């Protein structure tokens, strides 16, 4: 039951991040050369990984969810500090807050699924 709940929260985090990136893409990112297409990749990847986490009871989609969260968080930290392909953020919008929450959720709730998979496999 706990594993199913963790999977649901991870999938919600992935879908939430995908939604935030889609909204931001519509708002301004579609007009940027590199970041715009990367936002769309994030949208598609978030949906695909979320479905995989829910449907495929394997460690691979869970690891992908962690990688997705870390990579997206890393790109966001770069945009806050040094800039990311010409985009500099300031953490002032609600979309940034929700993106941060959803991506942290991907990592925080997927880690127990990945680390405790041996016990569940027995």
| Number of structural domains found in the chain | 1
Number of C-beta neighbours around residue 56 at 10 A: 11
Say whether pTM exceeds 0.75: yes
Host domain of residue 107: 1-121
Query: How many CA atoms does the CB half-sphere of 69 hold within 13 Å?
Result: 26
What are the pLDDT digits (tens) for 38-83?
A: 889 999 999 999 999 999 988 999 999 999 999 999 888 888 778 6
């Amino acid at each position: 039951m706990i594993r199913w709940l963790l999977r649901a929260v991870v999938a919600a985090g992935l879908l939430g991040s995908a939604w935030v990136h889609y909204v931001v893409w519509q708002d301004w990112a579609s007009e940027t050369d590199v970041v715009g297409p990367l936002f769309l990749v994030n949208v598609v990847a978030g949906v695909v990984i979320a479905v995989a986490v829910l449907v495929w009871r394997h460690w691979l989609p869970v690891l992908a969810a962690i990688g997705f969260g870390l990579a997206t968080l890393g790109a966001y930290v770069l945009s806050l500090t040094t800039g990311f392909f010409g985009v500099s953020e300031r953490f002032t919008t609600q979309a940034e807050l929700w993106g941060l929450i959803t991506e942290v959720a991907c990592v925080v709730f997927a880690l127990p699924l990945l680390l405790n998979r041996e016990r569940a496999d027995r």
